[in-house]
Structure formats: C-alpha cells, structure tokens
Amino acid sequence: MPAPVDPPSSSAVPLRVRRRVVVPALVVYLAAVAAVTLTPGHAHDTSLGLVRTVLAWLADRGVPLAFEPVEAVANVVMFVPFGVLVGLLLGVRRWWVVVLLGFATSVVIETVQRVVPERFSTVQDVVMNTLGAAVGVAVLAWWLARRARRRPAVAPAGTL
C-alpha cells in the first residue's frame, strides 16, 4: 500500500512562475470574462445566433438540446479557469477561499448586469459560475496530486 500523500499545494508551482505567469493570465482571463459578461447584450447577437443555429442543426439530426442547458454548462465552463488560476495563486489547500472568491466574482458580475442594457441577472448563473470555480480548483488539486505522485522521491544524502 503506498504511503499517504499530503494534499498538494500551489507551492508545487514555484512562486516566480505564479507571479510572472499566473497573475497576468488571471488579468487577461478576467478581462475576457468582463468583455463577455458586461457588454450590452446586442454585442453578442452574432455568437448567440451561431449557438442557436448549431442547436437547431443538432435538433434536426435527433440531438434535442435546448439553449438553457447549454447556457448553464457554458457558465460552469467559463469559471473553470478561475478556479485553476486562483487556486494556483492561493493554493488548493485553500480551495474554499477559491470557491468563495468565484461566488463573489459571479455576484459582482450579476449585480452589474442588472444595469447593462439587454443583460439579465440570474441566481442560476451565480450557482453555475461558483460550480465552475469549484471544478477548476478540484481539477488543479487532482493534477498537482498526480504530478506529486509521479515525481521520484529524493533519497536522503548518503543513502545510495
């Protein structure tokens, strides 16, 4: 039976990498999320039309997908990178803080959407975004644990 492995932390990723790579990636990601979620609804007519066209095409071929479930899954997927990136910064041992920050970020987005033309604020979006942050930090924890198990143990000096 293998020895138990301590829960991984973001310390498996060097601090300089977290500062030089993860922080800028998080800034770019948050800017993209803001562009997608906080611009007036008419700015997304083309992409929504494409989604509806694809859904209609799939329905014609016997795959009945409605827009609402696709939107819910998209809200989860949109926040997976949030969970990964914030998890890298804070560490997966603080997974609950990552999830809480995902929730807070989603609440801010949904609150701002209340005043943006042609945007709609829903509790479901907050729930799905929060779930996405949780999935992201869980995937990160899994990846770090897998990586830690694959690393060869360093033998103490003088034991070889």
- pLDDT value of position 45: 56
Please count the structural domains in the chain.
1
DSSP secondary structure of the chain: -PPP-PPP-GGGS-HHHIIIIIHHHHHHHHHHHHHHHHS-GGGGHHHHHHHHHHHHHHHHTT----HHHHHHHHHHHHHHHHHHHHHHHH-GGGHHHHHHHHHHHHHHHHHHHTTSTT----HHHHHHHHHHHHHHHHHHHHHHHHHHHHSPPPPPTT--
Q: Does a structural domain hold residue 51?
A: yes
Token pair recorded at residue 67: 């827009």
Against a cut of 0.85, is the pTM above it? no
Percent of the chain whose pLDDT exceeds 90: 55
Q: Does a structural domain hold residue 36?
A: yes
Q: Which residue shows structure tokens 């990136």?
A: 85
- pLDDT value of position 50: 73
> Would you place residue 5 in the very low, low, confident or very high pLDDT band (cuts 50, 70, 90)?
very low
pLDDT tens for 122-150 read 999 999 999 999 999 999 999 999 988 88
- pLDDT value of position 95: 97
- pLDDT value of position 4: 43
Domain range for 36: 10-150
Q: Does a structural domain hold residue 80?
A: yes
Percent of the chain whose pLDDT exceeds 70: 81
Work out the average pLDDT over 100-107. Answer: 99
Q: Does a structural domain hold residue 56?
A: yes
- pLDDT value of position 32: 94
Q: Is the pLDDT of residue 96 over 90?
A: yes
Q: Does a structural domain hold residue 5?
A: no
Work out the average pLDDT over 102-120. Answer: 94
- pLDDT value of position 160: 46
Q: Does a structural domain hold residue 71?
A: yes
Q: Does a structural domain hold residue 114?
A: yes
C-alpha Rg value of the chain to the nearest Å: 20
Q: Is the pLDDT of residue 55 over 80?
A: no
Q: Does a structural domain hold residue 90?
A: yes
